């Protein structure tokens, strides 16, 4: 009887593990970003590009620490079809976001999420930094929370750009 229970548990565990390995990537939500320059940018309009949607805040120490790398990654990969959208959290005062973006000369789209709609669409993001890497077909291929390994991140971007 113990063997039967063990075999059954093993089969169930293998099934669950294979589901995680072979499940299709989740489609990114159909959202529109309100950029600080007044432009509207729909995520669906970025199909065909690899997109990093990064939720951040001006008072987030890790976000600020990561910003030079985010700029460098954008500069390195943008000519190959990589786009970054930095989404400021709804509690971040718009004038702080605008000041930060202008003084640091952020080269990518910076958006305000004043009502929190974009954060909710991405699974109710509350912690920063939270980032989503989206492939050319508009599917979320990776979610990052907090610090991440830059080499592994670059490998994911490069793989998505080839795909």
For residue range 32-51, what is the model confidence (pLDDT) as tens digits? 999 999 999 999 999 999 99
Class of domain 26-162: alpha beta
- Residue 20 — pLDDT band, cuts 50, 70, 90? very low
Assess whether pLDDT exceeds 70 at residue 105.
yes
Within the chain, residue ranges assigned H as helices are: 2-22, 61-77, 94-103, 117-121, 150-162
| Number of CB atoms found within 10 A of residue 3's CB | 7
- Residue 139 — pLDDT band, cuts 50, 70, 90? very high
Would you list the domain boundaries of the chain? 26-162
């Amino acid at each position: 009887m113990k063997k039967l229970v063990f075999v059954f548990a093993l089969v169930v565990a293998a099934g669950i593990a294979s589901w995680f390995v072979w499940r299709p990537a989740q489609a990114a939500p159909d959202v529109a970003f309100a950029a600080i320059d007044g432009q509207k940018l729909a995520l669906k309009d970025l199909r065909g590009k690899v997109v990093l949607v990064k939720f951040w805040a001006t008072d987030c120490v890790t976000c600020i620490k990561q910003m030079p790398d985010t700029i460098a990654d954008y500069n390195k990969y943008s000519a190959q079809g990589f786009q970054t959208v930095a989404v400021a959290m709804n509690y971040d005062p718009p004038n702080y976001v605008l000041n930060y973006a202008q003084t640091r000369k952020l080269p990518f789209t910076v958006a305000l999420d004043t009502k929190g709609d974009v954060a909710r669409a991405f699974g109710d993001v509350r912690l920063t930094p939270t980032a989503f890497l989206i492939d050319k077909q508009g599917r979320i291929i990776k979610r990052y929370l907090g610090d991440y390994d830059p080499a592994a991140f670059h490998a994911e971007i490069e793989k998505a750009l080839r795909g």
